[in-house]
Amino acid sequence: MLSLPVETSIVVNERLQELVKLFKDRKDRAKERMVDPDESDDESPSEKKVDEEKAEEEVTIYEFMGYKFPVPQFKMPQIPDWLRVILEYRFPSSIDPFTDLIYVVWLFFVTLAWNWNVWLIPVRCTFPYQTPENIHWWLLMDYFCDGIYIVDIFVMQPRLQFVRGGDIVCDKEAMRDNYRQTERFKMDVISLFPLDLLYFFTGVKSLLRFPRLLKYNAFFEFNDRLEAVMSKAYIYRVIRTSAYLLYSLHCNACIFYWGSDYEGLGSTKWVYNGKGNSYIRCYYFAVKTLITIGGLPDPTTVFEIVFQMLNYFVGVFAFSIMIGQMRDVFGAATAGEAYYRHCVDSTVKYMSSYKIPREVQNRVKIWYDYTWKSQGMLDEQELLIQLPDKMRLDIAADVNYSIVSKVALFQGCDRQMIFDMLKRLKSVVYLPGDFVCKKGEIGREMYIIKAGEVQVVGGPDGMTVFVTLRAGSVFGEISLLAGGGGNRRTANVKAHGFANLFILDKKDLAEILVHYPESQKLLRKKAKKMLTKDKKPTDEKDQAKDTGEVIPQRPETPKLFKAALEVGTGQTFAKLKEAYKGATLEVFISPVKPETHCTIFGCSRQKIGIEKQSWRFL
């Protein structure tokens, strides 16, 4: 009969074999499904039957007067993706005027309609370009632009979100009421005042469309929204300022033709003589007048003299304003570069006054040039200092979080602590050959490579490259938390080429960790572990610890102690030792406590059974 442990072992082995077989069967079934994923069950219909059903679905049987006619079904062609997007589009119930691109596009069409009226109403009032033969085309474009005005008033503007009491309002009724209470609504309604009804009495006079010019708010709003979207807004500002100048010349050309027609075409040398293209000739006169080029015929009549005087006065005034605006636009566009030039000139002047070596001056100039070309600025923090902390944090998270989150030292720390740390990172550019840190220096910063490469060098000549660190690598992180002498640099690190590094100061990290004690404990624990791992054993004790032995070897018994035992106890003690070498370590207390005298040590002790401690020195 088998014992209980043996029976238990047999049952366990049988159960394990059964489990292994079940797992193996499941693996085989899964492998078969992977090899033939389209394999169908026995109960599924055959492929032939499926094809017959599809054929029956594609053909419809019609019966007429006892005869059956198979008529194939025609499937609709597949709709293209771009057309499906248009058909499935749903107009939004509310529009954010600051972020929705659809509103900027709509303002573009409204601005085109407004410019149609602004540029062509003066032309149609003065030049003979509107004739009975083409009047229907002019009216078609006029009312098309009016339709854009109407859609803007009844569809777009009542859907614009607004801020009330710090909250963004998206309610339809509230948005509609808010638009009706604005000055813009009043101007929009006046701009559509139907003076066109007077066409039945006066004929088609373009001057009656003058109220359409009052929708100027859409033009200026479009300028603001477009500049906010563009990355280089100064280009549009230059184009817009140039358009202002061209429009002033356009209006002056129209007024000159009207004056010439009032005096009589070709009546004097000063007026337009009626030859050539009337608009081009009058525009040429306006350019020479407003820009005060001169070379024009002298006016003869009082009307011509007054007209020319006003032309010169307005021309000088308007042209000076345009030149000033153009200067401001270019000045704002090149403000950053002007600041860069000023910094370079000031630095060069400072180095020259103190007679800095030419080699150092050249390296400083190279640093300025590379920093400006790579970043477009000298200090990123200057641009963000005016933003609130929340926006600065959002920008820093988008730029730097992907790099910092990969640092092993900060993994497992509080996420908010990492966000606070992102705002303290500083970007620094190192030139080729510059030492980022040297061996033996006190480490006060951690470095994160943003772009470029750095090399860890050493050796007898200090030029041996041990390792090359590239973008995304981190070094110097232990120095942020190590205390005492552990924060000294252990190697030389220099830039291989142009290297852009993020620097985190030890003081900044300490200020952050005050608010995150749990993260501080975790970081200190990781830093201590890194230091212990990198530390080399210096003596035999450290080497013994590094061997990884679970039970260390017992030290050898001193020879003097062995001789004393042999003299004092003789063979009896030796036999006792041999008898208990193979004995168990269980403590046995003898019921009798005899006394023994130790002649070697000159003391009297009690022998308590067979204690382990009495054999410790063996």
**Structure tokens given for 153:** 């008033």
**Structure tokens given for 413:** 């720390």
Taking the C-alpha atoms of residue 55 and residue 51, their distance in angstroms, rounded to an integer, is 6
Do 195 and 211 contact (CB within 8 A), yes or no? yes
CATH for 230-333, options being 1.10.287, 3.40.50, 2.40.128, 2.60.40: 1.10.287
pLDDT of amino acid 549 = 45
- Residue 167 phi, psi (nearest 5): -110, 145
Taking the C-alpha atoms of residue 285 and residue 272, their distance in angstroms, rounded to an integer, is 9
Residue 488 DSSP label: B
Amino acid at 285: F
Taking the C-alpha atoms of residue 198 and residue 591, their distance in angstroms, rounded to an integer, is 136
pLDDT of amino acid 584 = 47
pLDDT over 50 at 579, yes or no:
yes
pLDDT of amino acid 387 = 78
More confident residue, 606 or 406: 406
Residue range 42-49: mean pLDDT, rounded: 47
Residue 280 — very low, low, confident or very high, per pLDDT cuts 50/70/90?
Answer: very high
Do 209 and 232 contact (CB within 8 A), yes or no? no
Taking the C-alpha atoms of residue 23 and residue 30, their distance in angstroms, rounded to an integer, is 11
Do 122 and 250 contact (CB within 8 A), yes or no? yes
- Specify the residue for token string 């337009």: 272
* Count of Cβ atoms closer than 10 Å to residue 212 Cβ: 23
Dump pLDDT digits (tens) for 254-263.
999 998 988 8
- 426-534 shares the fold of 230-333: no
Q: Within 13 Å of residue 10, how many CA atoms lie on the same side as its CB?
A: 6
Residue range 145-160: mean pLDDT, rounded: 93
**Structure tokens given for 172:** 């339809």
Mean pLDDT of the chain: 78
pLDDT over 60 at 234, yes or no:
yes
Handedness of CA 345, 383, 451, 231 (dihedral sign): negative
**Structure tokens given for 74:** 């025609």
Taking the C-alpha atoms of residue 415 and residue 402, their distance in angstroms, rounded to an integer, is 13
Dump pLDDT digits (tens) for 329-377.
888 878 888 888 889 999 999 998 888 898 888 989 988 888 888 777 7
Do 117 and 143 contact (CB within 8 A), yes or no? no
How far lies 519's CA from each of 414, 419, 420, 549, in Å? 6, 13, 13, 34
* Domain map (residue ranges) of the chain: 85-229, 230-333, 337-375, 426-534, 559-615
- Residue 264 phi, psi (nearest 5): 115, 120
pLDDT over 80 at 581, yes or no:
no
Q: Strand 162-164 to strand 167-169: parallel, antiparallel, or no bridges (unpaired)?
A: antiparallel
Dump pLDDT digits (tens) for 447-488.
888 888 899 988 888 788 888 888 878 888 777 766 554 577
Residue 576 — very low, low, confident or very high, per pLDDT cuts 50/70/90?
Answer: low
pLDDT of amino acid 458 = 85
- Specify the residue for token string 């003690």: 573
Domain 426-534 class in CATH: mainly beta
Residue 491 DSSP label: S
Residue 156 DSSP label: I
Residue 155 DSSP label: I
CA 67 to chain centre: 71
Residue range 538-564: mean pLDDT, rounded: 53
What are the residues facing 298 on neighbouring strands? none
Amino acid at 40: S
